[in-house]
Amino acid sequence: MAEMTIRRFSVISVAKMYGLITFIFGLIFGVLYGLFFIIFGAAMSAVGGNQATMSGMSSAVFGIAMMIGIPLMYGALGFIMGAIGALVYNALSSVVGGIKFDLVGVQSEYSAPPPPHQWEPQQYPAQ
């Protein structure tokens, strides 16, 4: 086992990865909330008259806006929080010493390749 310590993280690398992860979660949540508002708006416009149709349409538009806005907001905030988190870690790792972890090799020991195949002459005559 080899013990290693993470002393520093690349701030932009961590921010990009965290931003992408939170964008994906935002996409999932945005689609779920957006579908809820679209279905809610369709139900409102089906039940009532002219006023209900207008409010139902605004609810559907709000649902579509949520499908677009929530992933973008989550991604941007995730990028910012990832950068802040990496900066704080880099500042504190010099004081505390970083994160230590053990690495175990998964590859077995080296073994020599098999000898080359020896071809024997053809035993049966060609027809």
Residue 62 lies in a domain: yes
Residue 110 lies in a domain: no
Percent of the chain with pLDDT over 70: 83
Strands (E), the chain: 2-6, 99-103
Mind listing the pLDDT tens digit for each residue in 16-51? Answer: 999 999 999 999 999 999 999 888 888 877 777 677
Residue 119 lies in a domain: no
Provide the domain limits for residue 93. 2-103
How far, rounded to the nearest angstrom, does the alpha carbon of residue 107 sit from its chain's CA centroid?
A: 28
Residue 5 is predicted with a pLDDT of: 85
Residue 123 lies in a domain: no
Sign of the Cα pseudo-torsion (86, 89, 91, 94, in order) = negative
User: In the chain, how many domains are there?
Assistant: 1
